[in-house]
Amino acid sequence: MTPGDQHVDGNAIGGLLEEILVAEPTTAERICQSCHTRHPIGAHRGFRAAGVVLRCPSCGDLAVRVAELPGRLMVEFSGRWIFPQAD
Amino acid sequence: MLTVRPETPHASNLVVDVPDWPGHLAGQHVDLRLTAEDGYQAERSYSIASAPEDGGHLALTVERLDDGEVSTYLTDEVRPGDTFELRGPIGGYFTWQAADGGPLVLLGGGSGLVPLAAMLRHRANAGAEVDTRLLVSARHWEDVLYRDELDAMASGGVDVRYTLTGSTPPGWDGWSRRVDADMLRELGPEPARRPRVFVCGPTPFVEHVANLLVAAGHEPQRVKTERFGPTGG
Amino acid sequence: MARVSRGFHGRRRTDVDPSRLPPGQYVVEDFPVLSAGPTPQTPLDEWSFTIKGAVDTERTWSWEEFLALPSETFTVDIHCVTKWSKLGTTWTGVSVDELLADVETGAEYVSAYSDGGYTTNLPLEDVTDGQASVAYEFGGEPLEPEHGGPARLLVPHLYFWKSAKWLRGLTLLDRDEPGFWETLGYHNRGDPWKEQRYWSD
């Protein structure tokens, strides 16, 4: 560790990550990486194929890809996600 | 599983008892999973028809699709005492609480009425006097869900309108065409009053109605939609 | 372990020759529609099919030119990774051998690409020697858009996600390039008889 390197273990950020990962997803909002519009996740468009795909309602670009694998989920999130914080 | 009761010729009401139910909001749904003895599984989403005030005695209304392997099981085969796996409540987006206020506009196509019924039941339980207007689109009069209850709500201050796109009974004085701009204008209220609008039904119905609403000047972010996918069986 | 729902059997045919059904699959009579995105609306006069990548020269066919290529009609079983299989489906299309007939390439892999951005990867040896085609008719009728029309890849000996809907071309590659589902945990090859559903299989 060089002087000025201020990192902590990811483990130390666990509390904040937990807050995100247990949040109600459909009222969260997302800013699209392609068209930069902002929509609630509940207003995105969902598709079911081999896995599940969520797309931007404005431009159709990917918001989430999910594969339901045996005993685990593989997920790719795209764009910026905004979660309201509980009071 | 507590009771199964026919609601219309093509739909049944199921009441399921969910232990440790965390509570739900009007408009939310559950995922229901069935497992056959050989491990084959099928999962479907069903809107919750009962009000939050009814707690863990969840009412689901299942439309019977002739080739639907899950809906035919739930309407024909299932009986009190049966158990199945259920995930939920799901979806805080398509919800309404009395505290959110109104005016409230609910537009349901076919069994898209189910989550809207939960909102209306919640409104009644909460004693809310929110300006509320409901448009039910169905093919035939006998397909309309919760008719007696909607009649009672109509005398309790909800403006209930129907449009029948298939056949109409003798003496019918409701609408008998696909939802259009004139119908929505007459239903009201005007977009300037910034109503909260909920549209639920098959995908083509929802697309059509949501486009009409936005074209009429409703703010897109106040028009919330819930579409039934192509595999509703 | 999931609990059994009393009396639930699903709508599956049970009178099936087991030798035709890969492990873990069940037979359906309908034709489920699975899509990772909206159905593209490409007009036929804007449609084209392209072979590109590690080739001597790119080749492109218009819709009319594509229909003029020698076609074949064949009946195969198809197997979806979501566990349904549909037996005895009849298709008409152009074999990939035909499309590659005049192409000089040292490539060993193919990336199939579609309208809407979908891709799937295959070893070249899985799409040659009569094993794959680009189909534009199903059951003697033009292939419906919801099932991948105007034209889809058809590689019936692999899971059906390899049979890309709304196909627009093949990119020949010297190195393998995992596609839309293959990058997200689905098996790189997808042989239903070996039940190669996921990376771990």
Q: Could you read off the pLDDT of B67-81 as tens digits, one per residue?
A: 788 999 999 889 898
> Can you tell me the distance from the alpha carbon of B11 to that of B144, in angstroms, rounded to the nearest whole number?
10
Q: Does the domain spanning B98-228 belong to CATH 3.40.50.970?
A: no
Q: What are the residues whose beta carbons fall under 8 Å from the beta carbon of B102, sequence distance 6 or more?
A: B130, B131, B132, B195, B196
- In the predicted model, residues of chain A with pLDDT beneath 50 are none
Q: Please list every residue in chain B whose beta carbon sits closer than 8 Å to the beta carbon of residue A27.
A: 92-93
Of C110 and A6, more confident: C110
pLDDT value at residue B116: 98
| Residues in C lying within 8 Å of B, measured between beta carbons | 2-12, 26, 30, 32-33, 83
Average pLDDT over residues C14-30: 88
pLDDT value at residue B180: 97
pLDDT value at residue C1: 52
pLDDT value at residue C2: 67
> Can you tell me the distance from the alpha carbon of B123 to that of B110, in angstroms, rounded to the nearest whole number?
21
Query: Which pairing describes strands B132-138 and B104-109: parallel, antiparallel, or unpaired?
Result: parallel
Q: What are the residues whose beta carbons fall under 8 Å from the beta carbon of C171, sequence distance 6 or more?
A: C52, C53, C110, C111, C112, C113
> What single letter denotes the amino acid at residue C145?
P
Maximum alpha-carbon separation in chain A: 50
B82, closest residue in chain C (CA to CA): C6
pLDDT in tens, B179-228: 999 999 999 999 999 999 999 999 999 999 999 999 999 999 999 999 98
Q: Are B113 and B200 in contact (CB under 8 A)?
A: yes
Which residue spans of chain B are classified as CATH 3.40.50.80?
A: 98-228
> What single letter denotes the amino acid at residue C84?
W
pLDDT value at residue C200: 86
Question: B3-90, which class in CATH?
Answer: mainly beta
Q: What is the mean pLDDT of each run of 10 residues along chain B (233 residues)?
A: 88 93 96 88 93 94 88 90 90 96 95 97 95 97 95 92 96 96 96 97 94 95 86 48
The complex's ipTM works out to 0.89
Of B233 and C154, more confident: C154
- Looking at the complex, report in whole angstroms how far the Cα of residue B21 sits from the nearest Cα belonging to chain C: 19
DSSP string, B136-150: EEESSGGG-TTHHHH
Q: Please list every residue in chain A whose beta carbon sits closer than 8 Å to the beta carbon of residue C41.
A: none
Asked whether the beta carbons of residue A48 and residue B225 sit closer than 8 angstroms, the reply is: no
Q: Are B86 and B74 in contact (CB under 8 A)?
A: no
C44: number of Cβ within 10 Å? 13
> CB-CB: which of B92, B224, B231 is closest to A24?
B92
pLDDT value at residue B232: 45
C35, closest residue in chain A (CA to CA): A49
Asked whether the beta carbons of residue C5 and residue B34 sit closer than 8 angstroms, the reply is: yes
> Can you tell me the distance from the alpha carbon of A20 to that of A17, in angstroms, rounded to the nearest whole number?
5
- What are chain C's domains? 50-194 (3.90.420.10)
> CB-CB: which of B92, B225, B231 is closest to A26?
B92
Residues A13-50 as b/e (b if ≥16 CB within 10 A, e otherwise) read eeeeeeeeeeebbbbbbbebeeeeeebbbbbbeebbbb
Asked if the model's pLDDT at residue C24 lies above 70, the reply is yes
